[in-house]
Amino acid sequence: MRVAVVPGPGQSGLLRPLGADGSPAGPPVEVPDLVAAVAEYEQKGSTRWVWPSAASCYQVLRRAGVRVARCHDVLLADALLRGRDAGIGVEPTGPRDALALLRDAAAAGAAAGAGADPGLRDTGLRDTGLQDTLFEPALAGAPAPPDPSATLDALIDVHADQLRRIAADEHPARFGLLVNAESAGALVAAEMTAAGLPWRPEVHDALLTELLGPRPTLPGQRPARLADLAGQIAAAFGVPDDRGSRGPRDPRLAMNPDSPTQVLQALAADGIRLPSTRLAVLRDVDHPAIAPLLEYKELARLHSAFGWAWLDTWVRGGRFRPEYLVGGVVSGRWASRGGGALQIPRLLRQAVVADPGWVLVAADAAQLEPRVLAALAGDRAFAAAAAAGDLYAELAVAFGGDRAKAKIAMLSAMYGGAGGEAGQLLAVLRQRFPAAAGYVEAAARAGEEGRVVRSVLGRTCPPPSAGWRALTEEAADPDTERDPGAGRASRARGRFTRNFVVQASAADWALVMLVSLRAGLAKISSVNGTSRLRPAGRPASDDAGSGQPNRLASPELVFFQHDEVIVHCQAEQADAVAAVVSQAADEASRLVFGPTRVAFPLSTAVVACYADAK
């Protein structure tokens, strides 16, 4: 059963049941306590909530302790549909005014939720219980929520239109799976923010102190190690550093290692002219300033991105709670807002430590994108290799047993490298695995010709811009010389679409795996220290208040990054969680690719500290 839902004044809300086609199946129902009403529906099971955006609604329900199983996120579905229609040149035909109203409602809800709970703007969620109203008045200047009745009508109209457009897709079952998985991913994102990644601030602080020296006492002051390296760099150039210490040469100059311009000028003064201060460029330079400069850049990046200011801002109550953006990248990969959640340095994994009595079950898909290509292409020889544990080792047979060459060839096929040794190795790959090579090369040709490509479930790449088309189109006059940049632009787009079909399909698999994992974790119950799977259809709330002693807390998804997940659970649940992880990978392979010989193995580790997972 589908139920449209919008919040009203205070804790109230409006609900309306919908038919399978999205049309109203009953009158609107005004409920005085929307959270309680949603919880009651969830007790009955089989409800798919239809709302403008999970990001603006579900956090409030999570803070109240309510978990929903399924939803249709109208704004996420709209993004997928707009991307598809733009790719095939179809003008949007849906109810635009209604969609604009839903965007306003979602923005108002998100702003009000953040205004009511400063933790949403800063580091996490306050442990003060549910606020007095579902969405309290937002901060001054924030948009006021639209009328609930008008929002409900708009929601129903847009949702029904979306169901019609999904059904009209070339592959409606696949695209419908993508829309459902994207919506469920929004639930996972909200739950991960609410749960938070376990983070030990004292470990983080100790790591920073070991590398950088004691925490500076003044704002903007360099830590001791960075200050020392800055002095070494200045001395190597024979100039004063920016603190005023004197070197043996040219006292009029100052040196700030944070300034690329000053570094390049100092190197030029010593006869070394470089195009940039990128690490790949500096590593090849023979100069006494390079070694301390490279160390300075590495430590300065750590201090800037994940130093004490980051720790103060993002970690509260032993949890790091970023905001995840579902489908934040055009390929369908997730992004994050604030805190750099998807770029945690390997060093700082030491600070990710499970609570006492708990463990982290960390799992990542090995060599995911090459395996996805094998499943997409249907290349029997390639699929046979992908059925093994180490794909590159199996492919190495075609390269005289050299695993490194096999990896270079595969990456060249997916990313478009064709020069030097990569081109030679790619030629071998084309010969031995023609279907796999042909699949990505067809995608590259489509991109070069200005066409779009789609993932296995139907996520569509952006069409080329008007500027790209103007640059690459053939002139009407055959005597007109073509712009020399046209070829480069065509090849660049070809490389993009070549990789898109693989990376976006890998994102499809990872998303479905994540959603399947969430569903599997919800079935785990633990009583008297024994973990078991809850029978399908029995809600988690049945365990609460059942009179059973020592019921353990439910496992929590706390991290997701491209092809890696972390579940935080009590130690007694680890085996059950690991089994559910494996089942989720199998289910994702079946749902996304159908029958396939390609294996998608997950490397799973049960650890107390994230750093020990690899």
Indicate the domain borders of the chain.
Answer: 2-197, 202-312, 344-368+507-613, 372-504
3-state secondary structure of 285: coil
Would you state the pLDDT for residue 115? 44
Query: How are beta strands 564-570 and 602-607 bridged, if at all?
Result: unpaired
From 112-121, 309-318, 324-333, the region with the lowest mean pLDDT: 112-121
Quickly count: other Cβ atoms within 10 Å of residue 124's Cβ: 21
The pLDDT-based confidence of 242 (bands split at 50, 70, 90) is low
Q: Cβ distance 41 to 12 under 8 Å?
A: no
Would you state the pLDDT for residue 419? 62
Would you state the pLDDT for residue 549? 38
The pLDDT-based confidence of 20 (bands split at 50, 70, 90) is very high
Q: What's the longest Cα–Cα distance across the chain?
A: 86
The pLDDT-based confidence of 536 (bands split at 50, 70, 90) is very low
Alpha-carbon distance of 240 to 225, in angstroms, equals 17
Would you state the pLDDT for residue 94? 66
Q: Which CATH architecture has domain 372-504?
A: Orthogonal Bundle (1.10)
Question: What's the whole-number average pLDDT of the chain?
Answer: 84
> Is it the case that residue 132 has pLDDT exceeding 70?
no
pLDDT tens across 387-433, in order? 767 788 888 887 888 888 888 888 888 887 666 666 777 777 788 88
Would you state the pLDDT for residue 127? 34
Query: Are both 202-312 and 344-368+507-613 of the same fold?
Result: no
Pick 297 or 337 by higher pLDDT: 297
pLDDT tens across 464-502, in order? 998 998 888 865 545 556 677 888 899 899 999 999 999
CATH class of 344-368+507-613: alpha beta
pLDDT tens across 555-614, in order? 999 999 988 999 999 999 999 999 999 999 999 999 999 988 888 888 999 999 999 997
> Is it the case that residue 551 has pLDDT exceeding 70?
no
Would you state the pLDDT for residue 111? 63
The pLDDT-based confidence of 42 (bands split at 50, 70, 90) is very high
Q: Tell me which CATH code domain 202-312 carries.
A: 1.20.1060
Element (H, E) at 369: helix 368-377
Token couple for 185: 């991913």
Q: Cβ distance 134 to 11 under 8 Å?
A: yes
φ and ψ of 87, to 5 deg: -65, -30
> Is it the case that residue 508 has pLDDT exceeding 90?
yes
From 53-62, 73-82, 257-266, 315-324, the region with the lowest mean pLDDT: 53-62
Alpha-carbon distance of 17 to 156, in angstroms, equals 10
Would you state the pLDDT for residue 329? 93
- pTM value? 0.86
Buried b (16+ CB within 10 A) or exposed e, 471-486: bbeeeeeeeeeeeeeb
Percent residues over pLDDT 90 in the chain: 57
Q: Cβ distance 245 to 255 under 8 Å?
A: no
> Is it the case that residue 384 has pLDDT exceeding 60?
yes
> Is it the case that residue 354 has pLDDT exceeding 80?
yes
> Is it the case that residue 532 has pLDDT exceeding 60?
no
